[in-house]
Amino acid sequence: MKKYGEQGFTLTEMAIVLLISGILTSTFLLALQTYTKKEMVDQTREAITLSNNATFAFQVARGYYPCPANPALGPGDAGYGYADCAAAAVVVGERDIDGDGNNETYLVGAVPFNTFLDMNADGNFNDPVFRNQVLYQDPRSNSMLSTQKYISYGRKHALDKWGNKLTYAVTLSQTDYETVVNGNPRFFDQDAGVLDIVDEQFHADPNDATLLQVRGSANYVIVSHGENGVGAFTKDGALVQNCGLGLTLPEQTAKDIEFALGTPPDETENCDQNDGIFLQGVHSYRKSIYNDDYVEYTVPAGQQLWAFTGSVPNDNGTPDDPDDDFFIPQLANQNSGGIAIGIKNAPPSEKVHVDGDIQAFEVHANQLCDSNGHNCMLPDAIGGELNQMKCPNVGEVVIRIEQNAVTCVNPFANMPANNCPNGAYGISSKTGLLCL
């Protein structure tokens, strides 16, 4: 009887199969991990962008940016997700807008997602600003946009993909925190931002790291504090990690990094609340420059130096008759400071400061003064519109103008009185009556 050996794999063959399977599995798991991380990053960036757009849409609809929401509130708390000016942290920013010697302030908190969804506070979270096709001009790009782009915004977009609330910082003067300033209604100034955005070179070279054309001019910023959540609050309002010592790293990162004592400065720049600087830098897992935050910000679009502001009527032809008037277009300077013409070594001391002569077809000014700002002449005086530019008595004529008033005389007051025979008369400006 013939016996046959039992068919099967040798131990060597099994080892090779297991090795190949292990390589394939590890490669697959690594690819899956990379894909999952990318999805989380992409969705976090989407949440930041949509919250950014919603903030801008709110300003278009209301005329100001909303205050931040209280980050320490949870879903069951009153006011959760609503703008709350009183609950926001007030921090000194990077610019002195009003020239009083003190930098202006900004507010910090969470993205006010319920305020975006219920813009008119009527309890309806389906407000028109997110649903209607309304065109408006976007000053950030000077292009026509539509609020239809915000239709997909929802509560989930106030959180990053690690489940933490997005931080929202906004210039105080551009919110409704103060509706009246010095007795006057506050107006929205898109150029009054006080936040600065810097790159990863900031702590190495603070003077050359800003990403803005005008340092400290960002209006607001929205931040995800990344995977480790340093400085972030959870959905339920709990602080993930304090913005200070004792940084906890993500598990997969901690295996490869040993931190020096303390938290890397790049990682705390977006949560320290001791200045108006936010860092939008390249992500790094190096111990001294660790940074895993995601940041978006808004700055005003560049403006032209002059802008058309309307027209004023010119009283042409019959006085006080608007039917024959024509309109003169008006241009206004958009510069926040003064304009110097012919001045090189000093800033302008007036809105328009000219050193030299101006040739113009027409000049509109409140006063015309000498180079020292003295001996001023009122334009209305030159045009004869003021009462002091009119002779007070009948028969008088103007002989000179000084001190914004005319000097008048009666040309016949000192003429000799002569009588001529009937039918013979004449007049001389020197001798008076001439008998011919």
Element (H, E) at 31: helix 11-62
The answer to whether position 152 is within a domain reads yes
Q: Same domain, yes or no, for 127 and 243? A: yes
Contact call for residues 83 and 132 (beta carbons, < 8 A): no
pTM: 0.59
Same domain for 390 and 317:
no
pLDDT in tens, 1-45: 555 555 666 777 777 877 777 777 777 666 656 556 688 888 899
Residue 312 has pLDDT above 80, yes or no: no
Full DSSP string of 138-155: ETTTTEEEEGGGGTT--G
> Same structural domain for residues 319 and 395?
no
40 and 169 together in one domain: yes
Domain endpoint, select from 298, 322, 352: 298
Is position 169 within any domain?
yes
Are residues 40 and 172 both part of a single domain?
yes
Angstrom CA distances, 226 to 45, 94, 184, 246, 431, stand at: 11, 25, 42, 16, 100
Residue 354 located in a structural domain? no
Same domain, 120 and 268: yes
- State the Cα–Cα distance between residues 224 and 244, nearest whole angstrom: 17
- The answer to whether the CB of 435 falls within 8 A of the CB of 420 is yes
Q: Mapping DSSP to helix (H, G, I), strand (E, B) and coil, where does residue 118 land?
A: coil
User: What pLDDT shows up at residue 305?
Assistant: 60
333, 349, 377 - which closes a domain: 333
Are residues 152 and 274 located together in one domain of the fold?
yes
Which DSSP category does 432 fall into? E
For residue 5, being part of any structural domain is answered with no
Residue 358 lies in a domain: no
Measure the CA–CA gap between 271 and 231, rounded to whole angstroms: 5
Q: Report yes or no: 53 and 153 within 8 Å, Cβ to Cβ.
A: yes
293 and 381 housed in the same domain: no
User: Do 270 and 412 share a domain, yes or no?
Assistant: no
- Give pLDDT tens digits for 136-149: 444 444 444 444 44
Residue 9 within any structural domain of the chain? no
Higher pLDDT, 363 or 161: 161
Q: What is the mean pLDDT of the chain?
A: 77
Residues 313 and 278 both lie in one domain: no
Measure the CA–CA gap between 315 and 324, rounded to whole angstroms: 8
The pLDDT of residue 73 is above 90: yes
Co-location of 142 and 65 in the same domain = yes
Number of domains comprising the chain: 3
Q: Residue 83's closest CA among 52, 50, 55, 102?
A: 55
Asked if residue 13 belongs to a domain, the reply is: no
Residue 357 lies inside a defined structural domain of this protein: no
Name the helix (H) or strand (E) containing 380.
helix 379-383
Q: What's residue 90's pLDDT?
A: 95
pLDDT given at position 309: 62
Query: Is the CB of residue 153 less than 8 Å from the CB of residue 117?
Result: yes
Count of Cβ atoms closer than 10 Å to residue 220 Cβ: 25
SS3 19: helix
Does 259 share its domain with 315?
no
Task: Tell the burial category of 223 from Cβ atoms under 10 Å away from its Cβ (0-12, 13-18, 19+).
Answer: buried
Q: Residue 170: is its pLDDT beyond 70?
A: yes
Instruction: Name the β-bridge partners of 427.
Output: 433
Distances from the Cα of 325 to the Cα of 22, 289, 311, 331, 385, angstroms? 90, 68, 12, 19, 17
User: Does the pLDDT at position 291 exceed 80?
Assistant: yes
User: The dihedral of CA 105, 109, 110, 113: what is its sign?
Assistant: negative
- Whether 414 has a pLDDT exceeding 90, the answer reads no
Host domain of residue 382:
365-436
- pLDDT of 180-237, one tens digit each? 555 556 678 888 899 999 988 888 888 778 899 888 999 999 999 998 899 999 999 9
